[in-house]
């Protein structure tokens, strides 16, 4: 057990056995970062053109269309992980625009910067929000896959 970012992480007994699985996990994280970058740029273009925040539904539909047409290598990514990235981006932009609205109304003086693209070297985990049974037979609500630690369960 260790603590990072205010959360306790418990390492499970599931381990990546060979190098090819580690490489696949790294490739998945690289593809997730590319999706993150694409979503951030899409949001910026959409706001510049329409002066609105793009919806999560529209972003998910756009990513699904890209999987079929121009990015077939994204098909191997779990859809729930891609949707989680889209939902996180939606929440970040909603909070940003809510803060701008509150500042204009005089409700707050806190200044929040525009969301930015996360650097590649800092994009090192993804979360699966499915109920998964580990080797001991217990059910966990989410699993975080990271570059440094093979598989971890999050307990809050």
Nearest CA-CA partner of 147 in 35, 40, 24, 39: 24
Rounded to two decimals, what is the model's pTM? Answer: 0.71
145's CB contacts (< 8 A; 6+ apart) are 25, 28, 29, 125, 126, 127, 128, 151
Token pair of 115 as six digits: 């969301």
One digit per residue, the tens of pLDDT, for the chain of length 156 reads: 445 555 544 444 444 455 666 667 778 888 999 999 999 999 999 989 998 888 889 999 999 999 999 998 888 888 888 998 999 888 988 898 899 899 999 998 888 888 899 998 888 877 776 655 555 555 556 666 666 554 444 444
Nearest CA-CA partner of 9 in 131, 133, 89, 125: 125
132's CB contacts (< 8 A; 6+ apart) are 139, 140, 143
Token pair of 43 as six digits: 């949001």
Report the alpha-carbon distance of residue 40 to residue 116 in Å, rounded: 7
Nearest CA-CA partner of 37 in 57, 63, 64, 2: 63
């Amino acid at each position: 057990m260790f603590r990072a970012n205010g959360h306790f992480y418990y390492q499970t007994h599931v381990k990546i056995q060979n190098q090819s699985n580690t490489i696949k996990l790294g490739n998945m994280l690289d593809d997730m970062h590319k999706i993150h970058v694409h979503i951030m740029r899409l949001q910026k273009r959409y706001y510049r053109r329409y002066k609105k925040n793009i919806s999560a539904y529209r972003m998910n539909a756009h990513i699904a269309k890209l999987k079929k047409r121009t990015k077939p290598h994204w098909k191997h990514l779990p859809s729930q992980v891609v949707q989680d990235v889209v939902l996180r981006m939606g929440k970040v932009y909603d909070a940003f625009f809510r803060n701008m609205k509150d500042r204009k109304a005089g409700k707050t003086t806190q200044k929040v910067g525009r969301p930015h693209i996360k650097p590649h070297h800092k994009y090192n985990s993804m979360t699966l929000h499915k109920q998964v049974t580990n080797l001991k037979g217990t059910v966990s609500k989410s699993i975080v896959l990271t570059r440094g630690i093979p598989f971890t369960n999050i307990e809050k």
